[in-house]
Homo-oligomer: A and B are copies of this chain.
């Protein structure tokens, strides 16, 4: 099976000129078929603030009312996505920017109101792996913004980690998928202040032990739960690493079943 690299980069990396440049250089150097999934939350929060729109987050998720949906559609689908696409084109990478609405690649259901009304936030219903594969096979490189649509005319906000892992699972029937989550740390670390404490590899049983021992806690738990779920659904390898060296094959923390 042919390999496919799916790289997810958070907002900070793509929102600052210096780190964006390095990311684009590194991503351009990734061999073979590849997809970039990006965030953009800091820029969305900054634009919202300038427009007098308050940003409300619950458990790291953005409450997306109608004015905030306009903000994220502008920032994720417009500003951040097109700057990445133009930057990749300058590096001779034939990128195409996509939201879930484009070619209907990712359709979602608006999240039902529970205790919290997240507003225009989507839970992914379906990914069109054939449409994405047709772009990949034509030599184009999808750059996916964390936006979907409901099939009824409304855009929906999607968590970028969830977008990346759901797309990875959908393409696992066609490719040997390596999913890379870039974030601000070097990997999963035993001690965030000690660069030598990166855990090179974690299996499900080791994960359980690391949780029991309190080594892995807080925000890392949903990230790793999500990663192991992607592995169980067919993704070959999940790597959690720094955006600074994701293009090195052995960086950060590898998760395997």
Chain B residues within 8 Å of A189, by CB = none
List A143-163 residues whose CB lies under 8 Å from chain B. 147, 149-155
Query: What separation, in Å, do the CA atoms of A83 and B156 have in the docked complex?
Result: 11
From A100-108, A204-212, A241-249, give the one contacting chain B: A100-108
Q: Give a binary string over A81-107; 1 marks a CB under 8 Å from any B CB, 0 the rest.
A: 111011101100011111101111000
> A4-12, A69-77, A224-232: which lies at the B interface?
A69-77
Residues of chain A having any CB pair with chain B under 8 Å: 47, 50-51, 70, 73-79, 81-83, 85-87, 89-90, 94-99, 101-104, 134, 138, 140, 147, 149-155
Known A96-B103, A97-B102, A101-B97: A86·B51 in contact at CB below 8 Å: no
Q: Is the beta-carbon distance between A78 and B73 smaller than 8 angstroms?
A: yes
Contact A86 B140 (CB under 8 A): no
Q: How far is the CA of A101 from the CA of B96 in the complex (A)?
A: 8
Other-chain contact of A82, B87, B89, B95, B147 (Cβ < 8 Å): B147
Q: Across the interface, do B86 and A82 meet the contact criterion of CB distance under 8 Å? A: no
A224 to chain B, nearest CB (A): 32
Chain B contacts of A140 at CB under 8 A?
Answer: 103
- Which residues of chain B have C-beta atoms less than 8 A from A103's C-beta? 94-96, 140
Which residues in B have their C-beta under 8 angstroms from that of A98? 96
